[in-house]
Amino acid sequence: MDEPVIVEKSPVVLELDAGTYHWCACGRSKKQPFCDGSHKVTAFHPVAFTLTEKRKVVLCRCKHTKNPPFCDGTHKTL
């Protein structure tokens, strides 16, 4: 199986509006941390998540989190 590309060994903190988002799981997207379709040449698929209200989120950029799309600190061990 393919390994995801590590974009950064740190998360990104964003304030997002309510809505549905698609987090890049492969690490190849040029629109990090969101999907741009680059995964189509891999075994990866984007992870959809929905926010019901505007809020701050901490999204994984190392692509190894056990709680996608959210950072769980895994980047500290890579």
- pLDDT for 61 equals 98
Say if residue 4 is exposed, middle or buried (CB neighbours under 10 Å; 0-12, 13-18, 19+). Answer: middle
Query: What is the mean pLDDT of the segment spanning 16-38?
Result: 97
- pLDDT of 25 strictly over 90: yes
**Identity of the amino acid at 43:** A
- pLDDT for 76 equals 97
Tens digit of each residue's pLDDT (9 = 90 or more) over 38-78:
999 899 999 999 999 999 999 999 999 999 999 999 999 99
- pLDDT of 36 strictly over 70: yes
